[in-house]
Amino acid sequence: MLRHYVRGFRQRLFGGYRMRKAKEWYYRAFYNRPREYTVSYNEITGPYKLWMRLADGPGMRKRLREGTEMPVRRVFLPLLEPGWFCCDVGAHVGDYTIEMASLVGNEGRVFAYEAVPHYFDLLEKSVQANHLTNVVAKCAVVGSVPGKAIIPRGMLTGSIAQPGRKIGGGDSRSACDPSG
């Protein structure tokens, strides 16, 4: 009898409408807001700060815990020398950009290109949080021919990975031009 009462109480407290509202609040408060995080998994460059929004998918959470593409990083980061000029095409939130900038030093320069405005804003915040003066960040598409690139509208707002949200098929805008 007591077990049924406790189960019913738990369902009333945590189930249904209240639980959905609590999950929505938690998602908006914790995952959906951009924040600064300290990344400390990289033994080559040491800890640095990244701005990211955890709602942008499991890749962001993995980036915080253990990093992404670590075998690639272990190969190419030790090759960089002070004074080099580097490009990061598709810079995302700036993890490669920041690592390269710390390795090439103030004599070198890193050019970071990100086509999605949402990620470009986070890239700029990450560069500022690490006080890097040798990074030139541009909200642009890099390709083999001049012209405009079309990016799905969901990527322009950073909503492409939000759970439960569908992205429209043919709805798109030009890169780095949210007005269309």
Task: Give residue-wise pLDDT tens across range 114-144.
Answer: 988 888 999 999 999 999 999 999 998 888 8
pTM: 0.70
Write the CA distances from 176 to 55, 139, 143, 161, 168, integer angstroms.
21, 6, 15, 19, 19
Q: Where are the domains of the chain?
A: 33-139
Residue 59 CB burial class (10 angstroms; 0-12, 13-18, ≥19): exposed
Could you give the CA distance from residue 146 to residue 164 in angstroms, rounded to a whole number? 36
State pLDDT tens for residues 7-54: 565 556 556 677 777 777 766 666 667 777 777 666 766 788 888 877
Is the domain spanning 33-139 CATH 2.40.30.10? The answer is no
